[in-house]
Structure 1
Amino acid sequence: MAFSNFLPRLFHESGLQSVYTTGLDAWLIILNRCCRMFAYGASSLILAMFFAELQISDSRIGLFMTLTLLGDVFLSLILTLIADKVGRRRTLFAGSALMIMSGVIFALCENYWVLLFAAIVGVISATGGDFGPFRAIEESTVSELTCRDTRNDVLVWYVTTASIGSALGTEVAGRVIEWLTEVEDGWSLLDAYHAVFWLYALMGSVNMASVLFLSDKCELKGGNSTASTAVASSASSVVDGATGDETAPLLNNTDTVAETTVTPKHLAKPALIKAPSSSCFLSPFKIISRETLSVIVLLWVLLMIDSLADGMTSSSLTTYFISTKFPELPKSRLGDMVSTAYLFCSLGSPLAGPLARHIGLINTMVFTHIPSSAAVLFFPFPKTAGGTFGLLLLRMALNNMDQAPRAALIAAVVKPEERTAVMGITALLRTLSGSVGPSITGLLAGGGRFGVAFVVAGALRLVYDCGLWAIFVNVRLHKHEMAQDMESDEADGGENGGASGQQQPEVAV
């Protein structure tokens, strides 16, 4: 009897129940992210070594990654700002096409400037991170598809499967390179690197195909009846910005869902789900309210500090550092190390959901990220590959546990019509800041001070952690949704028993 109760409890606490009830669109978005991160994991393992094999200097490798990230900024800006106008599915489809284009060019070409052009105008992951146009649009779409009580759980699995994809990508890339160079005759190391980029293009094709199966519910105005009501409620709830309750809704994963399915009055407020009507290219910036900016600007500053640190110690640069520090390591062993680290990351990510429900979003973000930051700071010091690997495991096991709570936090302080723009601007600013990092590391590496980059990056990450906790620990969330629920209940005249209008007890983040 106890075991029969344990399984449903596990299903609920793990967040899988939320993913299941959200439906096919969420599953496809999660699959897309997993496949894309498979490609990013494979490319991040070899990208710096690929250019080194082409006899490109360390400083130019760093410059390549910086310019690629700047290209991602431009592309993300364009696609994010038009996503709600032309359609999120069309935008994701176009991004997948650019991903295929970049993979094919890298598989066929060896000219530095042609590769740079393909990376800037297309979609290539220079660092192993998801800095392209996809993530902001997908997170905004997930926010549309979920309610405030399921959103964090779905985002947790969105992050978890990404780590699994990265782990598989690095493992497969390492094994493919070893097999092609040692078993097949005539394959040089450079040829094997080219072959891995065909996998990159293949994953782009999978993404393109799966986008075709997404429904209208993924659009800002999409969905009907129950689903759309849950979307609008969730949007408003997570919006409930700077002074609402963040922890209390996360502790109750049933009441709000039932409530949103019987209060179609949410849909009567078109301003909450209406795409910006202005034809001005910068209209998404204009719709961000001062109230939202007063909170989100401080978060943007901290996220830029964190992104600068991440750019200095990206997955590509980390694997390159390990390969230069321990040149005797075979590529397959290096792939095993990185894929195992990503696997630990995928094992740790699901814990973010239960933690956020019990200790809050900010505490989950900070207290899981601090040990990871310390591991980055001390990364250059071990003299053995085993010690270095141990710090890599610690860094990766906890590194992504702040991602889903961070997305939920951003969604919780913006209005529904602001969400795609705010998430896009967040991605833009993070990418801009992160783009500086590889050039700094490249200059340090060229001067024989590669390890200094990790010390500086670890210190910057700790600044981000402490600043995040100091500034946001007392911020309260979901103010707008609670106000909207109360208005809806008043409009109903208590018809629904006041469930939607009853304010939850406010608990600090």
Structure 2
Amino acid sequence: MRAFADGFVALLLPVYLTALGCNAVQIGLLASLTLAGSAAVTLSVGFLAHRIVPRLLLLGASLAMALTGLAFAGFSDFWPLAVVAFVGTLNPSGGDVSLFLPLEHSLLAHAVADRDRTALFSNYSLIAGLVGALGALAAGLPDLLGALLPRLEAIRGMFGLYALAGLVVFFLYRRLPVAQADTAIAHTPLGPSRKRVIQLAAVFSLDSFGGGFLVQSLLALWLFDRFGLSLAQGALFFFWAGLLAAASFLVAPRLAKRFGLINTMVFTHIPASLCLIAAAFTPSLWAVLALLLVRAFLSSMDVPARTSYVMAVVTPPERAAAASFTAVPRSLTSAAGPTIAGWMLSLGGFAWPLLVGGGLKIAYDLLMLFMFRNVRAPEEAAKSVLD
């Protein structure tokens, strides 16, 4: 439900703000505020996760999601929307960067043995990717409903649908088994793994900063402005991109089992970033879309591998705190990217955000390989001993 809602909101956000009279810089600023707000809330969870049961936090976040949708459907001025973007759950990236993610990761990590953890997170990401692709396709509904409703009102209705999804998620979370979600897992603040988590968070911050230049809302805005892509065409493209990203989650655990988690993260990520850089210099729409589709397939393989790696290299009681602390840079440092990217797009048609974002991500991959190539997950260490 969350992935479906995030899928259409990420595409509708730049269209909605443009219809309200916002420019590229304002759209980038609002996207930055959403990411900064998510980072602040997620960091708070990192401090409090060992004191408050995860189920209650998930229920509170669901209500915040419903209120965010209602506020965006009701407000028309930029600054009220900016405030809601900061305190709410809106996601301009098309991928999950909210409070929900570290809480769910910490619960899921305890559900299976070490050898099955990467496959579990691949399935988790696969479901989110498939449904997120359907959400992106649903972003074309306002154009299809043009004969029945004014376009602006149809988009407002989609934000109402986002609010409804938040309520449905609330009632689904209420069905979580209390013994599993609340009492079975002992959560503690960071302790023995603190140094390693800080190192991971620092490296992830570079990747997040690069990713901030490439949030889906601004990538869509560039395609709309540079190539005249319609909302319906953009929805169709991001639908296929989402399907390819989801398909990659089926491949990721096999690669991780064969080559290791770090190698899977790095050597799929670098070609994806090279596709981004190439797209910045490509004048043909079809060639750009082809490069972005290849990038969609390759760039997401590190998602389940990275999640599994973080859960593997900390002690089980620290997992909730580690998930929150390593998730924070994905929002906090990426929050600066959309504002800078919006300013870059306002200067002209060249895709500076793709060039800068791709270069930063390659730097992250090389740094990750250098720092953590010898830090293995338990199942990898066991396999090495057996070999």
TM-score (norm 2): 0.95
Q: Is the 8 A contact 2:17 2:27 kept in 1?
A: yes
Question: Is structure 2 residue 204 aligned with structure 1 residue 303?
Answer: yes
> d(CA) in 2 for partners of 1:341 and 1:97?
30
1:314 matched to 2:215? The reply is yes
Aligned counterpart in structure 2 of residue 359 of structure 1, from 259, 281, 301 = 259
Q: How does 1:275-314 map to 2 (within 5 A)?
A: 275-276=187-188, 284=189, 287-289=190-192, 292-314=193-215
Aligned twin of 2:100: 134
Is this contact kept in 2: 1:144–1:220, CA < 8 A?
A: no
Q: CA deviation at 1:400?
A: 1.2
Range with greater deviation from structure 2 (295-304 or 382-391): 295-304
**Does the alignment pair 1:211 with 2:173?**
yes
Aligned to 1:202: 164
Whichever residue aligns with residue 281 of structure 2, its letter is: F
Unmatched segments (≥5 aa) in structure 2:
none
Distance 1:89 1:150 in 2: 24
**Residue 65 of structure 1: how far off its partner (Å):** 1.3
Deviations for 1:131-175, whole angstroms, at most 9, x for unmatched residues? 11010010011012121122111100111111112110010121x
What fraction of aligned residue pairs are identical, expressed as a percent? 30
Partner of 1:77: 43
Identify which of 140, 146, 152 aligns with 1:190.
Answer: 152
- 1:85 alignment partner, SS class: coil
The answer for the alignment partner of 1:326 in structure 2 is 227
Determine the C-alpha separation between the residues in 2 that align with 1:192 and 1:95.
Answer: 26
Distance 2:245 2:234 in 1: 17
Q: Structure 1: how far apart are the matches of 2:213 and 2:331?
A: 12
Corresponding residue for residue 241 of structure 1: none
Check conservation: 1:321, 1:450, Cα contact below 8 A: no
Deviation at 1:216, TM superposition (A): 2.9
Structure 1 stretches of 5 or more lacking a match? 1-34, 223-272, 277-283, 483-502
Partner residue in 1 for 2:385? 506
**Match in the other structure for 1:63:** 29
Partner of 1:124: 90
Superposition pairs for residues 368-447 of structure 1, below 5 Å? Answer: 368-447=268-347
Quote the offset at 1:98 in angstroms: 0.2
Say which structure, 1 or 2, has more relative contact order (CA 8 Å, 6+ apart): 2
Please, which of 50, 55, 58 is the counterpart of residue 16 of structure 2?
Answer: 50
Alpha-carbon distance between aligned partners in 1 of 2:54 and 2:385, rounded to the nearest angstrom: 34
Would you say the 8 A contact 2:49–2:187 is kept in 1?
Answer: no
The whole-number CA distance in structure 2 between the counterparts of 1:134 and 1:161 is 15
| 3-state SS in 1 of match to 2:95 | coil
The answer to whether the 8 A contact 2:49-2:321 is kept is no
Residues 302 and 450 (structure 1), Cα distance of their counterparts in 2 relative to 1, 3 Å cut = farther
How far off is 1:298 after superposition?
2.9
8 A Cα contact 2:187 2:320, kept in partner: no
Residue 50 of structure 1 and its aligned partner are, at CA, apart by 1.1
How far apart, in 2, do the equivalents of 1:391 and 1:362 lie? 24
Question: Offset of 1:189 from its aligned partner?
Answer: 2.3
- Contact 1:369–1:398 under 8 Å retained in 2: yes
Whole-Å Cα distance in 1 between the matches of residues 340 and 273 of structure 2?
A: 18
Contact 2:34 2:88 in 1 (8 A): no
1:218 to 1:80, Cα distance in 2 relative to 1, 3 A = farther
Structure 1 residues 103 and 458, CA, compared in 2 at 3 Å: closer, same or farther? same
CA contact (8 A) 1:476 1:507 kept: no
Correspondent of 1:114 among 80, 88, 106: 80
The count of corresponding residues between Structure 1 and Structure 2 is: 387
Q: Which moved more, 1:445-454 or 1:408-417?
A: 445-454
Tell me if structure 2 keeps the 8 A contact 1:89–1:219.
Answer: yes
Partners of 2:101 and 2:277 in 1: CA distance: 27
Partner of 1:266: none
Three-state SS of the structure 2 residue aligned to 1:159 is helix
The DSSP-based 3-state class of the residue aligned with 2:109 is helix
CA contact (8 A) 2:130 2:243 kept: yes
Contact 1:144 1:218 in 2 (8 A): no
1:344: Cα distance to partner? 0.9
Question: Aligned with 2:9: secondary structure?
Answer: helix
Match of 2:65 among 99, 107, 129: 99
CA distance in 2, matches of 1:308, 1:41: 21
Does the residue aligned with 1:145 lie in a helix, a strand or coil? coil
CA shift at 1:217, angstroms?
4.5
- The two structures have a TM-score, normalised by structure 1, of 0.73
CA 1:350–1:341: 2 relative to 1, 3 Å:
same
Task: Work out whether residues 50 and 186 of structure 2, in 8 Å CA contact, stay in contact via their aligned partners in 1.
Answer: no
Higher alpha-carbon Rg: 1
Matched, 1:172 2:154: no
User: Aligned to 1:86, what secondary structure does the other structure show?
Assistant: coil
The whole-number CA distance in structure 2 between the counterparts of 1:69 and 1:439 is 11
Could you tell me how far apart the structure 2 residues matched to 1:378 and 1:53 are? 31
Contact 1:44 1:316 in 2 (8 A): yes
Contact 2:14 2:27 in 1 (8 A): yes
Aligned-partner SS, 2:385: coil
What's the counterpart of residue 269 of structure 1? none
From 271, 274, 277, the counterpart of 2:186: 274
Question: Is residue 38–residue 86 contact of structure 2 (8 Å, CA) maintained in 1?
Answer: yes
Cα offsets for 1:173-216 (capped at 9, x unmatched): 21x112111x31xx222222212112211221221111011113
How far apart, CA to CA, are the structure 1 residues paired with 2:109 and 2:327? 16
In structure 2, do the counterparts of structure 1 residues 367 and 300 end up closer, same or farther at CA, with 3 Å as the change threshold? same
CA contact (8 A) 2:137 2:236 kept: yes
